[in-house]
Amino acid sequence: MNLLIALAYLVAAVLFILGLRQLSSPKGARNGNFTAAAGMVIALGATIPLLHFTRAGLVIIGIGVVIGAVVGTFGARMVKMTAIPQMVALFNGVGGGAAALVAVSELLTFGAHPALSQALPSVFSIVIGSISFAGSMIAFAKLQELMTGTPITYPGQQLVNGLIGVAILGFVIAVLAVASVPFSFIALMVLALVLGVAFVLPIGGADMPVVISLLNAFTGLAVAASGFTLNNFALIVAGTLVGASGSLLTKLMSDAMGRSLGNVLFGAFGQVKTGPAAAAGKEGRSVRAGSAEDLATLLAYSRRVIIVPGYGLAVAQAQHAVRELAELLEKRGVEVSYAIHPVAGRMPGHMNVLLAEANVPYEQLKEMDEINDEFKDADVALVVGANDVVNPAARSSPGSPIYGMPILNADQAKNIVFMKRSMRPGFAGIDNDLLYDPKTIMFFGDAKDSLTKLVNAVKAA
């Protein structure tokens, strides 16, 4: 490798590191993305002189880049803000798939008995890249609601997954020790794809963000392994950076949910172990529903209102309506703030993105730790399309699957207003006692319609 190219790769690596650092602070985040993109352009440009192109090679690269660029741009531009998590899953999956294919293609050129230093990273890349590809597609399907978001489990599932794992290990040994022939590494890829599917199926939709983050780290490692196969410095450094930072991010995300990563992955989260206490008295409990006028009066004559936005607000595209309501209330002298749970929406930070889109001022967005003590002084906690993040079961019932998750103290407010479409449980599939609390008033309907009705009623109040 000549000196200039090596230097260009070094510059690219530095830009990736700087980009990551800027991405982790609110001020420079957007620049960080540009910095990393600049690193990418430099790394790609520096690679061109290293290659000898066949005519066919030039053509497929041209076609491939155009198709990929069009699909990527359209996908990223057209997707609704609420669907961003599954889009990230998709873009992550295709990266993993590409890494696996690069490794397959290299193994084809190595012949039947490659050096261990090349064969080992190749099989690693095939296995991890394929798991990431298939797993991401299932995560996408779950979040896009192409398939059920509830965990899919069956008896002996762990055993089946274990056997697939053993079979993969067998083929890895076959490729490395016996002969690296297309049959064995194609079989390896197929098995890894199956494992990717099997691994994500038992994980509930609410946990998909953590899974996507983990698979993101996987893809990074697969890319780094491809770098060892190709002896390419840029791939090794960039892939490893993503593998390492992605692993840490995955841990931070499961911490934010108050659970261990192992519990997220293998806990079969949605299998509700309904404790006897929760099952009893579930029937026949009554809820109190209010009219828009009742609620408007309550809100307009409050001193402090805390809004708890959730995914329901996002799907109903109600972020503008909620901001309008908040502004109306503020004009009447009501103090309004938003309580953002770390996992509100379907990804940490998701809700901030949506509310920022609706021009909600930063100062009103409060993180959980900051606002939890203020609920007891609030006249109204207005819960819009959220459920699990205010479910007291997380505090009080050890049998609940969300037990231990930090929640917003909405139950301590003097009044609680729930805007929900129905009494249906939240994404985690658990009943919420707060709905039956005497302090709680339900306001049924689509979040956007309900908020619009409320806005009109507050204007009249």
Partner 1 sequence: MNNELLNEFTFFILAIFVGIEVISKVPTILHTPLMSGTNAIHGIILVGAIWIAAGANSPLTIALGLVAVILATTNVVGGFVVTDRMLEMFKGRQAAKPPTSK
Residues between 32 and 51 with contacts to partner 1, criterion CB under 8 A: 32-34, 36-37, 39-40, 43-44, 47-48, 50-51
Residue 220 as a binder of partner 1 (CB under 8 A): the answer is yes
Yes or no: say if 164 and 198 are a contact pair by the CB < 8 Å rule.
Answer: yes
Pick 1 or 169: Cβ nearer partner 1: 1
Q: Work out which of 127, 189, 194, 238 binds partner 1, going by CB under 8 A.
A: 238
Find the shortest distance in angstroms from Cβ 413 to partner 1.
Answer: 23
Instruction: Give the max Cα distance, the chain.
Output: 81
For the chain, what's the residue count?
Answer: 461
Contact code string over 100-139 relative to partner 1, x by CB under 8 A: -xx-xxx-x--------x----------------------
Find the shortest distance in angstroms from Cβ 81 to partner 1.
Answer: 8
Residue 54 as a binder of partner 1 (CB under 8 A): the answer is yes
Q: Which DSSP symbol is given to 432?
A: -
Known catalytic residue at 388 = yes
Residue 459 as a binder of partner 1 (CB under 8 A): the answer is no
Q: Long-range contacts: 151-155, Cβ < 8 Å, 24+?
A: 151/201, 151/202, 151/203, 151/204, 151/268, 151/269, 151/270, 151/271, 152/201, 152/202, 153/201, 153/202, 153/268, 153/271
- Judged by CB under 8 A, the number of residues near partner 1 is 121
Give, in order, the Cα–Cα distances in Å from 161 to each of 156, 281, 460.
Answer: 9, 39, 60
Residue 84 as a binder of partner 1 (CB under 8 A): the answer is yes
Q: Work out which of 146, 287, 367, 460 binds partner 1, going by CB under 8 A.
A: 367
Yes or no: say if 380 and 440 are a contact pair by the CB < 8 Å rule.
Answer: no
Q: Work out which of 134, 236, 305, 394 binds partner 1, going by CB under 8 A.
A: 236
Residue 6 as a binder of partner 1 (CB under 8 A): the answer is no
Residue 71 as a binder of partner 1 (CB under 8 A): the answer is yes
The catalytically annotated residue of 388, 411, 431, 433 is 388
* Burial zone of 356 (CB within 10 Å; 0-12 exposed, 13-18 middle, 19+ buried): middle
Question: Which helix (H) or strand (E) is 164 found in, with range?
Answer: helix 157-173
Pick 67 or 287: Cβ nearer partner 1: 67
Residue 68 as a binder of partner 1 (CB under 8 A): the answer is yes
Q: Work out which of 175, 322, 338, 350 binds partner 1, going by CB under 8 A.
A: 350
Pick 150 or 409: Cβ nearer partner 1: 409
Residue 332 as a binder of partner 1 (CB under 8 A): the answer is no
Yes or no: say if 394 and 434 are a contact pair by the CB < 8 Å rule.
Answer: no
Q: Work out which of 5, 8, 82, 85 binds partner 1, going by CB under 8 A.
A: 85
**CB neighbour list of residue 193: distance below 8 Å, 6 or more residues apart:** 130, 131, 133, 134
Yes or no: say if 127 and 166 are a contact pair by the CB < 8 Å rule.
Answer: no
For residue 88 the two structure tokens come to: 């990230």
Residue 2 as a binder of partner 1 (CB under 8 A): the answer is no
Q: Which residues are catalytic?
A: 388
